[in-house]
Amino acid sequence: MYFATVSFRIARGHEQTFLNHWRSRTSYLGEVPGFIRFCLLQGQQTEEYTLFVAHTEWENKELFEAWTRSEAFRKAHVDATKIACEICLGLPKLELFDLVL
């Protein structure tokens, strides 16, 4: 298995806007080979931001990488910069993981 996470530091007071964006978007993940699961996680809060993490699980690294080059990926991320520029503190952070245990 392979895991991809993207962390977002969302300016306090804009959490609902961020959640509404994720609820209303079309992800296209269901039509992508190798996709297993998506979770949106809410984490710590500071005075400045609330941490959110988009977490996806994949059968393997190769199928995840194929998705990042796909038309489905491009369609799913067409509005990504708009929401990020308006309410994110800094750039989203991508982290990738292999299952080891």
Closest by alpha carbon to 7, among 101, 86, 64, 88? 88
- CA–CA gap between residue 99 and residue 101 (Å, rounded): 6
pTM flag (> 0.85): yes
Question: Who wins on pLDDT, 27 or 8?
Answer: 8
pLDDT exceeds 80 at position 61: yes
Q: Which of 8-12, 29-33, 70-74 has the highest mean pLDDT?
A: 8-12
Across the chain, what does the average pLDDT equal? 91
